[in-house]
Amino acid sequence: MVIHPAPARYFPVKETPFRFQAGLFPFGTDFGNGEVDRQFFQVDRQRERYLEQKRRVRPTRHHVLAGDVAERRVHEQVVPWMRTALEREHPALFAPAPETYRELATQVQEDVVVMHRRPDGTNAAIMVDVCFPSDWRPERIVGTDFRFIHGPVPGFADDAAQAAAMVSAMIDRGPYVRFVWTLKPADDLDLHPEEGVHASWHDSREGFLRVERQVTVPFQEVQAAIFLIRTYLYAFGELTAQQRRRLTTALETMPDDPARYKNVWPVRETILGMLRAA
């Protein structure tokens, strides 16, 4: 019987006024979780909960584009890399690892996207398997470019040059890890606007810090990158007093545009009350 560790702990909240930024760290940076921070695919004691919820998701969340030779060459490199990484990091679970994107995605706690840059410089998401979106629709990003995908994020990829630079960082450099965070009134993983579960702050007794660990791995030979998204949820009561103070400051000073995007603008005082009470 394999005994999995407790989930990793990440707290990327800064006390300075919030703004969206790349915030790239070299992959393998130690954030206090030891060997786990050096794993592309993290496995913990919550694994069965994640996999069970993935099994509930409709197949429309999974798409693979392989319309030309270039796209097929990407998949021929990315799938074996995923298999090798899983067999190396978790041999007790993956020996051997599954052989297709879909089979692989249903056995890991991460969501997966593959981006491809074409010879003309345009880019597109050519593989999407996202079961735990945070209030967005994964099925709508298939075949779209980085700028379209991040268009709703204020100040993040507002012009073509900025978006191209971020794609270049994913494909030409790395691997990298970055974090994004938001606040939610429940610990639901799937927050798809139509298919997910949506609790209300006004009915909630406990708030949660939702953190995404996002890892990019380059495949420069085929002009592609894999994008792994691992979602963590930490109850306010589980945070240290110092973390709650920092989160309170971040929420109090958050500009209106990011607050609206994160859906916390109309309930800011409710959330602040929860943090102070915790």
- List, as one string, the DSSP characters of 38-82: G-SS---TTHHHHHHHHHHS-GGGEEE---SHHHHHHHHHHHHHH
The answer to pTM > 0.85 is yes
Instruction: Count the domains in the chain.
Output: 1
pLDDT in tens, the chain (278 residues): 678 999 999 999 998 777 777 789 999 999 999 999 999 999 999 999 999 999 999 988 999 999 999 999 999 999 999 999 999 999 999 989 999 999 999 999 999 999 999 999 999 999 999 999 999 999 999 999 999 898 777 666 667 888 888 999 999 999 999 999 999 999 999 999 999 988 999 999 899 999 999 999 999 999 999 999 999 999 999 999 999 999 999 999 998 888 998 999 999 999 999 999 88
Q: Would 135 be classed as within a structural domain? A: yes
Omega of the bond prior to 154 within 30 degrees of 0, cis?
no
What is the structure's pLDDT at 1? 65
Answer whether residue 12 is part of any domain: no
Sequence-separated (6 or more) residues with CB below 8 Å from residue 132: 50, 53, 111, 189, 190, 191, 229, 231
By the 10 Å C-beta count (0-12 exposed, 13-18 middle, 19+ buried), 242 is classed as exposed
Burial class (CB in 10 A: 0-12, 13-18, 19+), 106: middle
Q: What's the start-to-end Cα distance of the chain, in Å?
A: 37
Is 235 domain-assigned? yes
Task: Specify if 73 maps to a domain.
Answer: yes
DSSP element (H, E) containing 128: strand 123-129
Beta bridge partners of 183: 209
Among residues 131, 111, 109, the alpha carbon closest in space to that of 58 is found at 131
In a domain, residue 141? The reply is yes
- State which residues form the domain around 214: 41-277
The answer to whether position 93 is within a domain reads: yes
Q: Is residue 189 part of a domain?
A: yes
Could you tell me if residue 35 is inside a domain? no
